[in-house]
């Protein structure tokens, strides 16, 4: 961003001209010190902007969804993280798995004859098969 003096509507003004977040921004000031002070404040603020720009789209969507949910429920994201850190210690959480691993299988596959290795019943379908629901 640049600070320069221009004539606007017959008066000399100071212009700060440049790009912020990919968009052109022009700010007009009556004196050079005011223009330079605004530019210095804007340069300090770019750390938050740069952090947000460094996130990928999935992380941005997660942050926005978490923020909206926390606001609807009446708490802040910071309080949710603090609560998780204190109350979530030592607990085992679900591990990441594919849909195939989660669904599993019911054991013997009747579509094929002569299966050498019959897979063990596992996952959601295995539980249903063992309880007699999915046969």
pLDDT-based confidence at residue 14 (cuts at 50, 70, 90):
very high
Same domain, 14 and 41: yes
Same domain, 44 and 59: no
Q: Which residue has the higher pLDDT, 24 or 97?
A: 24
- Give me the percent of the chain exceeding a pLDDT of 90: 22
Question: Where are the strands (E) in 35-115, listed by range?
Answer: none
Q: Which residue has the higher pLDDT, 2 or 113?
A: 2
Tell me whether residue 135 is in a domain. Answer: no
pLDDT tens-place string over residues 81-131: 888 777 776 566 667 778 777 777 666 666 767 666 666 767 767 666 666
Q: Which residue has the higher pLDDT, 71 or 129?
A: 71
Tell me whether residue 112 is in a domain. Answer: no
Q: Is 22 helix (H, G, I), strand (E, B) or coil?
A: coil
Closest CA to 37 of 20, 16, 18, 53: 16
């Amino acid at each position: 961003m640049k600070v320069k003096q221009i004539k606007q509507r017959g008066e000399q003004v100071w212009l700060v001209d440049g790009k912020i977040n990919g968009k052109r921004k022009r700010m007009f000031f009556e004196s050079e010190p005011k223009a330079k002070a605004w530019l210095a404040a804007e340069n300090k603020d770019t750390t938050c902007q740069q952090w947000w720009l460094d996130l990928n789209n999935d992380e941005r969507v997660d942050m926005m969804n978490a923020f909206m949910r926390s606001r609807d429920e009446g708490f802040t994201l910071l309080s949710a993280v603090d609560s998780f850190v204190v109350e979530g210690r030592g607990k085992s959480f679900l591990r990441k798995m594919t849909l195939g691993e989660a669904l599993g299988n019911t054991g013997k596959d009747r579509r094929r004859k002569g299966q050498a290795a019959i897979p063990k019943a596992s996952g959601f379908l295995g539980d249903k098969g063992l309880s007699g629901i999915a046969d």
